[in-house]
Amino acid sequence: MKRIVLPLLFAGLLVAGLAHAATGHVTASHAWIRVLPGALPAGAYVVLRNDGDAPVALTAAGSPAYGEAMLHESSRAGGVSRMTMVDALAIPAHGTQVLAPGGYHLMLMDAKQPVRPGDTVRITLKFDDGSTLPVDFIARPANALDDRG
């Protein structure tokens, strides 16, 4: 029994290692979703860190929990709030890019089933180098200000 499990475990670690290499050294933290009542679209936020030597751009996101996930930017120029689509969001080499309320965010639409505060939602981020990064987002109440408070 042990003989079979160990090589399998080793293979698993190898695959995990390869998967990590394929992400282009991007890691995610402070991932959260602001949950709104009913079928309203939700905003998702995350801090992305690129430890690679080349810039990488976030180009798309997808989740089995939502019909659609779009990259948007909110702006407040001239006292007017507007939202625009973003095709690619660059994360500088050895730098970070922040998706936070009032700025860049993922707009999640058409929830497959109600998402409640406390739930964890897996969203896969896609980058321009072909790599992907699955991230677990914590669902927070409507009146939360960030991933904790």
Partner 1 sequence: MKFPRLLRLALLLLPLTGALLLAGCHRDALPFKLTNISGHMPDLQFQLTDDNGKAVSAADYRGKVLLLYFGYTHCPDVCPLTLAQLHVALQKLGKPGDDVRILFVSVDPARDTPAVLHAYVNAFDKRAVGLTGSPRAIEALSKRYRSAFTREPSGKDGNYEVTHSSAIYVFDRDGRARVLSTPGTPQDDLVHDLQLLLGTGTSA
Binding site for partner 1 (CB under 8 A): 34, 36-38, 40-43, 68, 72, 74, 76, 79-83, 101-102, 105, 107-109, 141-145
Shorter beta-carbon distance to partner 1: residue 25 or 105: 105
Shorter beta-carbon distance to partner 1: residue 26 or 42: 42
How far apart are CB 104 and partner 1 at their closest, in Å? 9
Shorter beta-carbon distance to partner 1: residue 25 or 34: 34
CA–CA dist 91, 127 (Å, integer): 10
What's the burial of 15, exposed, middle or buried (CB within 10 Å: 0-12/13-18/19+)?
Answer: exposed
CA–CA dist 6, 4 (Å, integer): 6
Phi first, then psi: what are they for 15, rounded to 5°?
-60, -45
How far apart are CB 14 and partner 1 at their closest, in Å? 40
